[in-house]
């Protein structure tokens, strides 16, 4: 049995321009009866140099920047295999666990290609274990030509006029495929893949930031920022690994690498927020230049600890990416973290770019607000930081925050208020002087202009949280 595909549209559903036969791809069972064979018959444009990163038959990083044909095999869990084949014989094969979440690269295969005039053909064989279990969807692409006239073709394109830039990891447009006659073992309970078993059993969480703060796709301008969370020393620490594009924004932070830098959010930075159901959260900011800023917050924007130290190292890669690894003790995290968000920021105003893992709905806000906790999504860290979710969890940092918070609550007229300033002693019998407090901007609170008469003439400056029910 064979499966045949013909790429006849551009990435956005337009008909191909030019007089050439389109790319044809044929999938079949390999000669050993287990693996998958891909045959490519495609036009050869020769409008780009030979990829310099690898010899024929070998992997070549960033092959997608050259003349190439690609195939994607996806399952219902958003696990997928990406295959890239060059007319010059190089290949690049990736395994992804979630949209754009690269977990393995440069997987081996057998591949030969030959160029005959204005066409090229190629034959590749891929081990059955490369494919995620129970493949259900498929897409294929072809690319050629240098920017700005590069041509992007798709078997299953996005709707015309819906997107400004091509994005080949838009899994929503992939179409069903049934490979039962070609890879029958892939659909059985007995399917075995050491590669995928290893990936699925890893105790880590990975997130890719694929959209702007207001839900616009990034397209293929650059590979998105990726954060990987792993447990260290049996859950005593959480390691955060950042893999992000390096934009080399100026100016660079003015503190030494490895140290805290106040207002790091004004520079090129990647951020992670860990929130619990009580509104306590840890904010982490990491710079490609080695600086960091770690904050504890007790309520929206209410910073109670800042510039917490951490072990952080970073390296800027020759490929234009930066890799940073930071380690945080479990005591930095509020008890029972339940929600998460992450952001990447770069560029200068008015063209500064704000990206979000979990953005606000398009058109719902006029400017980015990274402390909009309502858009944070659930996260489960019980496998990585199990002590966070036990009654025995101890954190001197958060215990101090909780104690201070409780000491600043006073009861007036049967209602509990949050007090942001201390008691004021007044011997003046004019309580009106104490009923017009100064506002604290961006603290998420309203002023309650209440004077409290008492024989000792104490007057308390009270601020009532908008979320009043949480304090009753």
Residues 434/459, Cβ–Cβ less than 8 Å: yes
Residues forming a β-bridge with 315: 323
pLDDT of residue 317: 76
Residues 54/106, Cβ–Cβ less than 8 Å: no
Strands 110-116 and 102-105: what pairing? unpaired
Contacts of 179 (CB under 8 A, 6+ apart): 3, 27, 36, 73, 135, 186, 187
| Number of helical (H) and strand (E) elements in the chain, helices listed first | 2, 32
Q: Please tell me the distance from the alpha carbon of residue 355 to that of residue 224, in angstroms, as a whole number.
A: 9
pTM passes above 0.85: no
In the three-class reduction of DSSP (H, G, I as helix; E, B as strand; rest coil), residue 226 is classed as: strand
Residues 66/190, Cβ–Cβ less than 8 Å: no
In the three-class reduction of DSSP (H, G, I as helix; E, B as strand; rest coil), residue 397 is classed as: helix
Which domains are present in the chain? Answer: 2-194 (2.60.40.1190), 203-407 (2.60.40.1190)
Contacts of 413 (CB under 8 A, 6+ apart): none
Low pLDDT (below 50) residues in the chain: 410-472
Choose among 246, 100, 244, 248: nearest CA to 170.
100
pLDDT of residue 432: 39
Q: Please tell me the distance from the alpha carbon of residue 11 to that of residue 153, in angstroms, as a whole number.
A: 5
Residues 283/240, Cβ–Cβ less than 8 Å: no
Which backbone phi and psi does 63 adopt, to 5 degrees? Answer: -60, -25
């Amino acid at each position: 049995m064979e499966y045949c595909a013909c790429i006849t549209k551009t990435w956005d559903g337009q008909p191909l321009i030019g007089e050439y036969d389109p790319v044809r791809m044929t999938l079949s069972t390999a000669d050993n009866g287990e693996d998958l064979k891909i045959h490519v018959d495609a036009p050869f444009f020769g409008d780009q140099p030979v990829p310099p990163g690898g010899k024929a038959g070998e992997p070549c990083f960033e092959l997608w920047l050259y003349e190439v044909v690609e195939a994607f095999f996806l399952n219902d869990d958003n696990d997928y295999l990406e295959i890239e084949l060059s007319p010059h014989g190089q290949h690049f094969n990736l395994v992804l666990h979630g949209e754009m979440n690269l977990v393995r690269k440069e997987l081996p295969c057998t591949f030969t290609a030959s160029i005959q005039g204005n066409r090229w053909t190629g034959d590749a064989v891929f081990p059955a274990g490369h494919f995620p279990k129970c493949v259900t969807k498929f897409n294929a692409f072809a690319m050629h030509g240098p920017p700005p006239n590069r041509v992007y073709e798709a078997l299953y394109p996005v709707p015309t006029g819906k997107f400004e830039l091509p994005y080949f990891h838009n899994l929503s447009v992939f179409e069903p495929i049934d490979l039962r006659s070609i890879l029958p073992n892939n659909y059985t309970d007995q399917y075995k893949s050491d590669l995928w078993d290893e990936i699925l059993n890893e105790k880590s969480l990975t997130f890719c930031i694929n959209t702007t703060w207001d839900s616009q796709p990034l397209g293929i301008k650059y590979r998105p920022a990726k954060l990987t969370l792993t447990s260290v020393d049996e859950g005593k620490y959480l390691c955060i690994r950042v893999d992000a594009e390096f934009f080399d924004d100026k100016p660079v932070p003015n503190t030494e690498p490895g140290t805290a830098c106040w207002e790091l959010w004004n520079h090129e930075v990647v951020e992670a927020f860990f929130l619990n159901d009580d509104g306590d959260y840890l904010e982490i900011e990491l710079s490609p230049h080695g600086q960091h800023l770690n904050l504890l917050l007790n309520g929206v924007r209410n910073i109670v600890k800042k510039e917490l130290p951490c072990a952080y190292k970073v390296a800027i890669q020759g490929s234009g990416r930066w890799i940073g690894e930071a380690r945080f003790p479990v005591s930095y995290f509020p008890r029972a973290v339940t929600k998460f968000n992450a952001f990447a920021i770069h560029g200068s105003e008015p063209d500064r770019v704000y990206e979000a893992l979990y953005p606000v709905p398009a058109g719902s806000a006029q400017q980015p607000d990274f402390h909009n906790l309502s858009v944070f999504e659930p996260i489960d860290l019980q496998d990585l930081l199990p002590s966070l979710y036990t009654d025995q969890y101890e954190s001197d940092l958060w215990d101090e925050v909780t104690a201070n918070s409780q000491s600043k609550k006073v009861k007036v007229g049967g209602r509990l208020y949050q007090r942001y300033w201390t008691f004021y002693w007044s011997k003046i019998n004019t309580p009106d002087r104490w009923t017009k407090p100064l506002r604290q901007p961006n603290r998420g609170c309203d002023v309650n202009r209440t004077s409290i008469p008492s024989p000792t003439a104490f007057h308390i400056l009270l601020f009532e949280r908008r979320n009043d029910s949480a304090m009753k």
